[in-house]
């Protein structure tokens, strides 16, 4: 079993689709082992996304992630990291597969509804970031 992190981002919270996203994840046999609603400070968002600090979209990303509450959750499943990445779809919703969360709820490459850890190592770091 693996543990990974999903964040329902502020755009998806504003669309009232927290429940629908959770329903889809539970249907795919993810078990929610921790969950909360938080409004990230700029400092917290900067730390969480520090790996992107040199990217041109970094400042806009911090603005977006601090624009409203988000819902991080720790998820457990066999092969959770890869399976969750598949379930959410490509970062750019124009490239996301049919039936994925981003295909259905993302607006654009930034306002893309959810975040999921991209490796087991980052999953451990990201779960610890929100849940200790």
Q: Which residues are catalytic?
A: 115
Identified binder of ligand CMP from the candidate list 25, 40, 115, 123, rule CB under 6 A: 115
Q: Are strands 71-77 and 2-8 parallel, antiparallel or unpaired?
A: antiparallel
C-alpha distances (whole Å) from 97 to each of 20, 32, 44 are: 18, 24, 31
Closer Cβ to ligand CMP, 24 or 115, answer by number: 115
Minimal distance, residue 73 CB to ligand CMP, in Å: 14
Handedness of CA 127, 38, 112, 96 (dihedral sign): positive
Identified binder of ligand CMP from the candidate list 34, 66, 91, 122, rule CB under 6 A: 91
**Host H or E run for residue 116:** strand 114-116
Minimal distance, residue 4 CB to ligand CMP, in Å: 13
C-alpha distances (whole Å) from 4 to each of 28, 56, 57, 108, 124 are: 14, 27, 24, 24, 7
Task: Select from 12-20, 34-42, 70-78, 104-112 the region that touches ligand CMP (CB under 6 A).
Answer: 104-112
Task: Select from 19-27, 38-46, 95-103, 110-118 the region that touches ligand CMP (CB under 6 A).
Answer: 110-118
x-or-dash string of contact with ligand CMP, 30-49, rule CB under 6 A: --------------------
| Residues at the site binding ligand CMP, with contacts judged by CB under 6 A | 52, 57, 61, 91, 109-110, 112, 115
């Amino acid at each position: 079993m693996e543990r990974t992190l999903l964040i329902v981002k502020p755009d998806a919270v504003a669309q009232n689709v927290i429940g629908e996203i959770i329903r889809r994840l539970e249907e795919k046999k993810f078990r929610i082992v921790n969950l909360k609603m938080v409004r990230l400070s700029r400092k917290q968002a900067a730390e969480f996304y520090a790996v992107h600090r040199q990217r041109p979209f970094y400042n806009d990303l911090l603005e977006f992630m601090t624009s409203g509450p988000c819902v991080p959750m720790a998820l457990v499943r066999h092969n959770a990291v890869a399976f969750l990445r598949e379930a959410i779809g490509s970062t750019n919703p124009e490239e996301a597969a049919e039936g994925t969360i981003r295909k259905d709820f993302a607006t654009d490459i930034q306002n893309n509804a959810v975040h999921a850890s991209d490796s087991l190592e980052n999953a451990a770091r990201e779960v610890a970031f929100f849940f200790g």
